[in-house]
Amino acid sequence: MTIHSHTISNTAAQPLDKKARWSVPRWLKITSTLGVLLLLSWQVRWHDVVDVLSTANVLGVLAAVALWLPNQWLQYARWKFIVQRAAIQPLISDIRESYWLGHTLGFITPGRIGSYGRGLFLSNVPLGEATALTVLERSYSAITVNGFGLIALAILPSLGWHATWADWGREVSAVLFIIGLIVLLAGVFPGQIARAISKFAGQRSWGKVIANSLGALSHIPLGASLLYLGLASASLIVSLVQFLLILNALGIVIPVVAGLLAIHLNFFLKGNIPLTLGSLGVGEWTALLCLRGLGVPDSMSVAASLMLFSLNVAIPALIGVRFVKRVFTVHHGWNNRGK
């Protein structure tokens, strides 16, 4: 079953002024990044981080690097399977280039909102349909990070993890666990969620385009939703293992289950504080907050987070730079797309 296309007005299709589109978000994120990194300096000494990085076990780091390809393949496969639901078969080159561009645009825009624009680079797919496809793909990233993040927050205290900012009773943990499961179920049954949001947005003048796009997601079959959720979860697990391998390479051995959950809690927190370039600075801050609960020294938490940032965020963003020129030509033939 394919997602049916919907039209977007010509006004929405007009490209933004270059300065309005790039300058403010870019400088805002750069300023925020520098500010957070300066604040982080109060918590950790940077020369200690450098010392930790210089003594890392090379083989351990290479093991984490070796997982980069399967991680990217899982993410790309999810995007490819989703866009192939389009009524008009997207070009393979468009699928590949839009995937990498999503990383680049997400890196340089506030809240990684730019990653939601990757569907616009499917040159022969109508705009409404491209929007729906992108929302669907991005939703599964959010569902897995937030769903498993809430579950991690619920389970960790019972595994010997201690944090003063997460000192609550079993009742709160049970509520967090249930909410996490509900979030994951939204990935299994996206149609019902999409219809609810579509109904709400469609009643407002600003939400008609959103309602049209999300309404197209109400026909996702169970098998497809399980595939998308499985691929998103697998990619997330690979990233967690990469972080754990890097910690081991830095000389820190922590319990596997508690360690993976604490690392994921870091992903959950930084994903919901979208202030800086690729969460640089924020990710390091949340890493030390989460891993302190397992006795990991702050310098090692920050060093591991920086290494994973370089591997999984900076490198894909750099690869996408090769295709940035498409940003300035995406509006060409806008009104004829999908005809």
Per-residue pLDDT tens over the stretch 110-127:
667 778 788 888 888 888
Higher pLDDT, 146 or 67: 67
For residue 229, which of 131, 150, 137, 103 has the smallest C-alpha distance? 137
Mean residue pLDDT across the chain: 79
Of the pLDDT bands very low, low, confident and very high (cuts 50, 70, 90), residue 15 is very low
* pLDDT band per the 50, 70, 90 thresholds, residue 185: confident
pLDDT band at 240 (very low <50, low <70, confident <90, very high): very high
pLDDT exceeds 50 at position 23: no
Q: Which of 223, 209, 228 is nearest to 130 (CA)?
A: 209
The whole model's pTM is what? 0.78
- 190-225 pLDDT, tens per residue? 776 666 666 665 666 645 555 555 555 567 788 899
The domain segmentation of the chain, as residue ranges, is 18-109+137-163+221-330
How far is 157 from 271, CA to CA, in rounded Å?
A: 21
Measure the CA–CA gap between 78 and 161, rounded to whole angstroms: 33
Residue 328 is predicted with a pLDDT of 78
- Whether the pLDDT of residue 95 is over 90: the answer is yes
Measured CA to CA, the distance from residue 328 to residue 298 in angstroms comes to: 42
- Local structure of 71: helix, strand or coil: helix
Q: How far is CA 36 from CA 55, 164, 274, 286, in A?
A: 26, 22, 12, 11
